[in-house]
Amino acid sequence: MIDELLPRPREVRVDGDATIELSELIESIDPESPDLLGLPPGGYQLSVRPSEGRAVLIAVDHEGLARGRARVARLTGAGVRTPAVTIRDWPELAVRGVVEGFYGPPWTHPERTSFLRFAAGVGFNHYVYAPKDDPYHRERWRDPYPPELIAEIAELAHDAAEHSVRFVYAIAPALSMRFSDDDEHHALHRKAEQLWDAGVRHFALLFDDVPMTLQHAEDVALFGTDDRATGAAHGVACRRFEEEFLAPRGYAHPLGVCPTDYAGTARSAYRDGLAETLPHDALVMWTGADIVVGEVTRADIDAAAESYRRRLLLWDNFPVNDFDRSRLFLGPLVGRTTDLEGSALVGILSNPMVEAMPSRFSLATVADWAWNPGDYDPPDAARRAAPAVAGRHVRAVAALVKACSAWPPSAPQSEELQNLADDALSGDRQALDGLEVALDALRTAGDTSGSTTPFDPSLAQALEPWFAAARDMGDVGVGACRLLRDLNTRTEALPAERDAVVAALTRAEAHFPNVLRGMVPPFVREVLTRSGLEGVATPAKSRALLLTGATPVPGERDLIERLTARGMDVRTVSALPLPSDLAEFALALVTRRAPADAAAALAAEAVPVLAWGRLDTLGLSSRSGGFLAQEELVIIEPSHPLAAGQRGTVRIYRGPGNVSWGEPGADAVVVARTKEQSLPAIAFYPAGARLASGAIAPADRVLFFLAEEGLAPWLIAPESAELFFAAVDRLSDRVPSPA
């Protein structure tokens, strides 16, 4: 039982073999106790005393008392005998928790209240409310919550306090805030006042996923035009919020702040401006060397802290899946440094998946790392997390959890199974046997038959689509293993066996949930090819060239992730020469930050081009520019494939944004125009058409409306994404050419 505790306690002393059924718990807060000497906030000591039939818990503070109670709850239960044990324990990081900060359907209220109980049990002490798709948090930040919603927030704040978890409400005003306007600051304070009156006592301000340049003329006049000015404006908003709203209410905690420049370790103009005006005790939320990372090193932490000149909170985009909803990330936290002593990192906030219950498999391991990084062991943390989430149904989820444990998202889905598959195809019979056993386990994913205890219905419901995908993927994988084994021994049975595998492959690939999709189907196809079936080779991966600046901005990273999720292999180029095998690429995408000489070279290449930058250089327009503060386009050719089935006025941005436009040549089909001034925003040139420059298009060309932010999810409306992928599909030959 001690070995199953999570997070793993630091100091455990088992005092003999005696066990008792606890009948009494004596608890107290006594930071001056000699037993607690030197322990930080959150520390405690728990002593189970068989001779006295009771346990004694002393804690440094209320949080330590809550953590000790959680230990007692795990050690006791009806009919359970508790060993004579003394646990002395304390956390390494002061801030340990979750930031609900993903894009997509927010967690439901019951999911949040349930999570607060789970959070307390695994040692989290923070929950940050920041769902991107709550309009009152972001797009409508000025507006008060309606009564039914503010009541839910009040309940969350109350429940969190009951579990010694700090409920932090994050406000994200930067999409539309005029930082030079006193009325805007007062509006921010009024919004916070409604929350304060509802019982919220902790706040954060978020400036993530907004344009790096100030969008309002009055702000530019006051702060300036460069990135440094934007950072300074954001810092002023934080300082005024702290001085004018928090301080008068006796708030004595550092303000959490997520900057616009939240990824990377280098100093920047934005970070310099922010540092000049941000409160000195503010905690900067930072995602690591990139937005989604496989590792966080001590060097990363030190460099980032120096660039911000503040202490850090790691906003860890793990196990978030909003960029690829087909996948679950159920494995343990990996790649995070254990060298934190003396660093500027004071906490971690993990950004979970849209699926609340499945997120707990990974989040429990985050809690383990945050409590005691020095002793953190990912496989062991995963082992202890499984029963904390699935209870007695660990076996029912084990195969799926293992199949969905890869991190980062770009890593092979299962390196172990891939190696077995490669060896099996090379003739290794032992590897083939091992592969079949592993895939066979997937065939019973989610099976709780024979169990006398019910499977948590919320967990079962959330996992069922992936259970179904796992079962079918296991079925086709096992069939392929048996077919491979039989190739040289049972030739008369091969046609029927092969047909069964083909049918199973069709079923397996019909699922939206991605369970080993990158590993099992290629193995199956290779086996089918060896069996004599033609036309089943693994389709070549479509390749896309992204011509952009030296370092992709966040919205471009989202673009790369979305294209990758659609099966495309994206190569980024920021300087000449262009790839020598460019003719093999399905399309090239040209951003506003693309180098002019590389765009000029691309103009003559016979590869389809989708561009929102260097439009004149590419010959797509005779004049072009950007149109500020736009949210809508008007589709004027609804029958064209690039209209994506939409017609009339279409919302493209969640808030005011920059639209790229260009004046195309007479041979172009203009599909959409800006609502104001009717500027061409989507235009199509078929191969052979005369471009605006007078040159002949060597391949299809599309002029598109995106701006520097690319496919940033904070800006792009769903209709906009549909228009973009309609263009991608048209250029990569996924839809027929229009008549």
Which element (helix H / strand E) includes 557?
Answer: helix 554-565
CB hemisphere CA count around 366 (13 angstroms) = 29
Token readout for 30 is 């006594």
Closest CA to 188 of 114, 242, 230, 232: 242
Residue 279 makes CB contacts below 8 A (sequence gap 6+) with 238, 239, 242, 254, 255
Collapsing DSSP to helix, strand or coil, 163 comes out as: coil
Q: Which ranges constitute the DSSP H helices of 426-518?
A: 429-442, 457-486, 494-508
The DSSP letter of residue 643 is: G
Alpha-carbon dihedral sign for residues 110, 115, 121, 124: negative
Which element (helix H / strand E) includes 288?
Answer: none
Strand partners, 204: 170, 256
List the catalytic residue out of 134, 209, 368, 558: 209
Collapsing DSSP to helix, strand or coil, 127 comes out as: strand
Closest CA to 450 of 503, 406, 396: 396
Residue with tokens 């709203």: 245
Token readout for 583 is 């003719």
Residue 495 makes CB contacts below 8 A (sequence gap 6+) with none
Distance CA 306, CA 322 (A): 30
Tell me, yes or no, if 209 is annotated catalytic: yes
Closest CA to 263 of 292, 295, 224, 291: 291
> 3-state secondary structure string, 220-272?
HHHHCCCHHHHHHHHHHHHHHHHHHHHHHHCCCCCCEEECCCCCCCCCCHHHH
Distance CA 344, CA 354 (A): 30
How far, in Å, are 91, 424, 497, 511 from residue 476 at the CA level? Answer: 46, 16, 11, 13
In this structure, the number of other CB atoms found within 10 A of the CB of residue 634 comes to: 15
Distance CA 436, CA 417 (A): 10
Token readout for 722 is 């549909």
- Exposed / middle / buried, residue 493 (Cβ in 10 Å: 0-12, 13-18, 19+): exposed
Which element (helix H / strand E) includes 523?
Answer: helix 520-530
CA 631, distance to chain mean position in Å, is 26
The DSSP letter of residue 31 is: T
Closest CA to 312 of 320, 321, 303: 303
- The catalytic residue positions are 209
